[in-house]
Chain A
Amino acid sequence: MALRARMRWRLRQPSVVPGFGLALGVTLTWLTLIVLIPISGLLWRSSGLGWGNFMALAFDERTVNALTISFGTAFAAALVNLAFGVILAWVLVRYRFPGKRVIDAMVDLPFALPTAVAGIALTTLYAPNGWIGSLLEPLGIRIAFTPAGIVVALVFVGLPFVVRTVQPVMEEIDKEVEEAAATLGANRLQTITRVLLPGLLPAGLTGFALAFARGVGEYGSVIFIAGNLPYVSEIAPLLIVIRLEEFNYAAATAIATVMLFLSFLMLLVINTIQSWSRRRYSNGA
Chain B
Amino acid sequence: MEVRVQNIRKEFGRYPALEDVSLDIRSGELIALLGPSGSGKTTLLRLIAGLESPTEGTIFFGNEDASQKSVQQRNIGFVFQHYALFRHMTVLDNISFGLKVRPANRRPPAAEIRRRALDLLELVQLSGLEKRYPAQLSGGQRQRVALARAMAVEPNVLLLDEPFGALDAQVRKELRKWLREIHDRTGHTTVFVTHDQEEALELADRVVVMSKGAIEQVGTPDDIYDHPVSPFVYGFIGQSNCLDVTLAGGEIWFEDRPIGLRAANEPDGPATLYFRPHDIELLDGCGGCLAGLVTASRRVAGTRHLEVSLGGTQPSVEIELPPERASSTDHSRVAFRPTRWKLYREASDVAAASVQAQTSAIELAPTGT
Which A residues are closer than 8 A to B by beta carbons?
174, 176-177, 179-187, 190, 194-195, 198-199, 201, 277, 280-285
Contact = CB atoms under 8 A, between A and B. Distances in A.
Nearest to A282: B135
Most buried by A among B78, B134, B150: B78
A224 B101 CA distance: 50
Q: Name the prevailing secondary structure of the B interface residues.
A: loop
Given A185-B102, A284-B135, A284-B136, A180 B80 contact: yes
A285 B142 contact: yes
A195 B87 CA distance: 9
Contacts of A177: 84-86
A181 B97 contact: yes
Nearest to B72: A185
A198 B88 contact: yes
B84 to A, nearest CB: 4
A176 B133 contact: no
Contacts of B83: 285
22 contacts: A177-B86, A179-B78, A179-B80, A180-B80, A180-B86, A180-B149, A181-B97, A183-B50, A183-B76, A184-B149, A184-B152, A185-B102, A186-B101, A190-B101, A194-B101, A195-B86, A281-B88, A281-B135, A282-B135, A284-B136, A284-B137, A285-B87
Given A281-B135, A285-B142, A184 B101 contact: yes
A183 B82 contact: no
Given A176-B80, A184-B97, A280 B71 contact: no
A181 B358 CA distance: 54
B62 to A, nearest CB: 18
Contact of A187 (B50, B72, B89, B133): B72
A174 B82 contact: yes
Contacts of A186: 72, 97-98, 101
Interface in B60-90: 71-72, 75-78, 80, 82-89
B77 A183 contact: yes
Nearest to A182: B71
B84 A179 contact: yes
Most chain A beta-carbon neighbours within 10 Å: one of B49, B87, B135, B142:
B87
B75 A185 contact: yes
A177 B71 CA distance: 14
Contacts of A183: 49-51, 71-72, 76-78, 150
Interface string B130-159: 000111110000100010011011000000
B84 A176 contact: yes
Nearest to A190: B101
Interface majority SS (helix, strand, loop, mixed), chain A: helix
A174 to B, nearest CB: 6
A280 B97 CA distance: 18
Contacts of A195: 86
A198 B90 CA distance: 13
Going nearest first, the 10 A-B pairs with the smallest beta carbon separation are: A284-B135, A184-B98, A176-B84, A183-B78, A180-B84, A281-B87, A186-B101, A198-B88, A284-B134, A182-B71
Given A186-B72, A284-B87, A285-B83, 13 more contacts: A179-B80, A179-B84, A180-B84, A180-B85, A181-B86, A181-B101, A184-B150, A186-B101, A198-B88, A284-B134, A285-B84, A285-B85, A285-B134
A281 B49 CA distance: 28
Contacts, number: 90
B107 to A, nearest CB: 10
A206 to B, nearest CB: 16
Contacts of B146: 180
Contacts of B72: 182-183, 185-187
Interface of B: 49-51, 71-72, 75-78, 80, 82-89, 97-98, 101-102, 133-137, 142, 146, 149-150, 152-153
Q: By CB atoms of chain A within 10 A, which of B72, B133, B150 has the most?
A: B72
Question: Which residue, of A183, A190, A198, A201, has the highest number of chain B Cβ atoms within 10 A?
Answer: A183
A176 B82 contact: yes
B278 to A, nearest CB: 40
Contacts of B76: 183
A160 to B, nearest CB: 25
A179 B78 CA distance: 9
Contacts of A182: 51, 71-72
Contacts of A285: 82-85, 87, 134-135, 142
Nearest to B46: A179
A185 B98 contact: yes
A201 B87 CA distance: 12
Contacts of B135: 280-285
A253 B142 CA distance: 55
Nearest to A184: B98
A179 B84 CA distance: 9
Given A181-B97, A185-B72, A185-B75, A201 B80 contact: no
Contacts of B51: 179, 182-183
A186 B70 CA distance: 11
Contact of B84 (A174, A185, A187, A199): A174
B336 to A, nearest CB: 49
A199 B88 contact: yes
Given A285-B83, A285-B134, A280 B101 contact: no
Nearest to B90: A280
Nearest to A179: B51
Contacts of B80: 176, 179-180
Contact of A284 (B77, B78, B133, B152): B133
Contacts of B98: 184-186
